[in-house]
Amino acid sequence: MEWVISIVVMLSLIGSIMWIRPSPRERMVSQVRLHARKLGFIVQIAQLETTRAKGEMEPEKVRLPAYRILRNDLSRDEKDRWTSWQIFRTDNVANQGLPQGWSWKKGEYELSKDACEIISQLIAQLPKEVRALESSPMHFSVYWREAGGIEQLDAIHLAIQPILKAKI
């Protein structure tokens, strides 16, 4: 009987330890977010309301990690004249100047043709797990599903550099 009780206690302890240990996905996300901080990103979980896709009545509400780069290089005048914009990987009619499968939530017809071209070039380089992009005078945000690991984060960081330099 003592053996049975000992085995049950041991299994209970092992189960508790296994429950506390992070899963492989949680470990990968932790490594990606730590690497993101080294690259200058601030990572936050954000609730977004997407644009309505063709044929849908209501926009989708999603919670996604937002990888943000603060805009510390803007003057007061640049911040005051800033045109904020937000785009989603959704097929919609509000897609002026964007590649197929992307649509505007905010900023359509407000950016120059050159700015739209730079955004389109960025979109072509992004992994398919990126769901949205947002630009404000405070930060540039990439809403990403965190798939692909550190390599994809490095690719995203490299791809957004022209937008940051152009101050779009």
Domain ranges of the chain: 23-166
CA atoms within 13 A on the CB side of 72: 5
pTM of the model: 0.85
- List the pLDDT tens digit at each of the 168 positions of the chain: 787 777 777 777 677 776 777 888 889 999 999 999 999 999 999 999 888 777 777 888 899 999 999 999 999 999 999 999 999 999 888 888 899 999 999 998 999 999 999 999 999 999 999 999 999 999 999 999 998 899 999 999 999 999 999 999
Cα–Cα separations (whole angstroms), residue 136 to 20, 52, 150, 167, 168? 39, 22, 25, 10, 9
* Bridge partner residues of 110 (DSSP): none
Tokens of 118: 């730079």
* 59 close to 50: Cβ distance less than 8 angstroms: yes
Contact 63, 45 (CB under 8 A): yes
Instruction: Name the phi and psi angles at 132, rounded to 5.
Output: -160, 160
